[in-house]
Structure 1
Amino acid sequence: MTALGTLYGVGAGPGASDLLTLRAVNVLKSVDVLALPRSSDYGASVAWEIIAPALGELAELPPSQTRLRLTFPMSKDPARVRPHVESAVNAIGAHLVEGRSVAFVTEGDPSVFSTFGYVRQEAQKRWPELRVEVVPGVTSITAVASIGGVPLADGHERVAIVPATYGVDDLVDLLRRFDTVVLMKLGAEMPIILAALEQTGLTDRAFFVHKATMAEQRFEPDVRKVRDEHGGCFSMLIVKRRDRSGVLLGNEP
């Protein structure tokens, strides 16, 4: 009986191909199968667009490795998402049971709001003996902080990471309790977010970034200007109070 292949979850980083780790590049070049998620059957895979430059001529030549395009709709409805996860595991599993290694490539990091988590859970349910290896990637969270020129946390500061489309009813409380609040997946929540910032007096402590590290990157230090925008999955807003910065070194007089 053929031994199961290894399933890798590989973080492609936030968008710039030169932010791929050396380990990620080595895995991507060595596996038998690349599993490439996309949001629709006819759309491009952003993950592939990120990793292709790092693969060099391997990306241009007729593929010696199999490339699976796997569709995962942008939906919060389990009834819509689950069939696509099961279909993806079927396609990946057909290779794993033949002993082939598969790298599921995900934007950012496989452990942060990634579809890979669902795929891994379902695959290990079917094949409990399956070996899974996660290759961490640079997250959009740290990329956006670097673009804004702020540390996510300093000294005794605390950080909250919030997917806005899943509800921001408690945002005022979060802004008061945490030193840094990272708002991901903004969706249509910008008016509510800005109202919370105004209520807490933190409007001037926030900044907005769209498509961090990509060629289309946009940095907006005045979040009032994005009030009417629909923030997609590549948009993020960070609020930094800076009340307790420098506590380890002591505040200068």
Structure 2
Amino acid sequence: MNYGTLYGVGVGPGAPDLITLRALTVLKQAQVLALPRSSDYGESMAWKILKPTLGEIPGQERMFLTFPMNKDPERLRPAWDVAFTAIGERLEKGLSVAFATEGDPSLFSTFIYLRREAPLRWPGIRIEVVPGVSSIMAVPSVTGIPLADGQERIAILPASYGVEDLSQVLELFDTVVLMKMGTEIPKVVEALEQQGLTDRAVYVSKATMAEQRIVRDIRTIQTERGDCFAMMIVSRKERSGLLAGVVPATPRPASRETGA
């Protein structure tokens, strides 16, 4: 069977003008837009980001698909099956389907599961991934805190899946990015206080969006519940402009001595 092409398209972290040119080209040409949302009545954040820039494309179908924000496989699998079946009906007709996802399709994205499942359901299907600007890149841009310099190491953690090992991670890495803060904010603040790193952390919600919020004193938010776009960046080091790690000394030029 000749299936349509399946695209996974990253639409960026929130600001409409951070959508890439390649993403816009694919999204304009696709015959079907698959737009994920967390509930049947919820808004698709990918569509919210995309709509101001993409506008209306004559003849293009917009298909809103529900992927519950839940960790229970017994709830997730039926929802995924409904969504994947709807996508398959279009692909089997030879239609191209662009699955739009916030940030990048390969990082904490529902498209990852679709990409794994697609060759099993539709053997020989062509899949193309269009990378997007990730929130991991957006947060440093709005906070002014670089991710890494020289030989520094970075850790990226989904906080909502537990932060029991956070203290150890903070000791092993120069920069730690915590995503999907959820109800873990109190535990995160406690771990940072134990490490003496509260002043090295910045909290950001909805980076680059109109509702963007930046908190530099994280002690003021330790009783809050973060949304799924809430992140924290912890940077242990003051950067001097030199490469981190062992840097060989620059040899001094030999001085010329003159006799008396």
Q: TM-score, normalised by structure 1?
A: 0.94
Q: Distance in 1 between matches of 2:39 and 2:52?
A: 23
Q: Distance in 2 between matches of 1:6 and 1:230?
A: 40
- Structure 1 residues 86-137: Cα deviation after superposition (integer angstroms, max 9, x where no partner): 1111000001111110000000000000000111111221123111100000
Map of 2:23 onto structure 1: 24
Secondary structure (helix, strand or coil) at the match of 1:35 reads: strand
Q: Check conservation: 1:72, 1:84, Cα contact below 8 A.
A: yes
User: SS at 1:73's partner residue?
Assistant: coil
Rg comparison, structure with higher value: 2
Secondary structure of 2:182's partner? coil
Given that 1:11 and 1:107 are in contact with CA atoms closer than 8 Å, whether structure 2 keeps it comes out as: yes
What displacement does 1:248 show? 2.3
Residue 54 of structure 1 pairs with residue 48 of structure 2? no
Question: Aligned residues, how many?
Answer: 247
Q: Which runs of 5+ in 1 are unaligned?
A: none
Superposed CA deviations along residues 145-189 of structure 1, whole A, max 9, x for unmatched, are 111101111111000000011110000000010000000011111
Aligned residue in 1 for 2:199? 204
1:95–1:193 Cα change, 3 Å: same
- How far is 1:232 from its partner? 1.2
CA distance in 1, matches of 2:119, 2:217: 45
Equivalent position of 1:145 in the other structure? 140
Residue identity in the other structure for 2:72 = D
- Please provide the CA RMSD for this pair: 1.7
- The one-letter amino acid of 1:221's match is R
Deviations 1:169-225, CA, capped at 9 Å, x for gaps: 000000010000000011111111011101111110000001111111001111111
Matches within 5 A, 1:229-244: 229-242=224-237
1:13–1:139: 8 Å Cα contact kept in structure 2?
yes
8 Å CA contact retained: 1:156, 1:244 = no
Moved >2 Å (runs of 4+): 243-252
Gapped regions of structure 2 (runs ≥ 5): 250-260
CA distance in 2, matches of 1:134, 1:11: 8
Asked if 2 retains the 8 angstrom alpha-carbon contact of 1:86 and 1:122, the reply is no
| Counterpart-to-counterpart distance in 1, 2:43 and 2:195 | 40
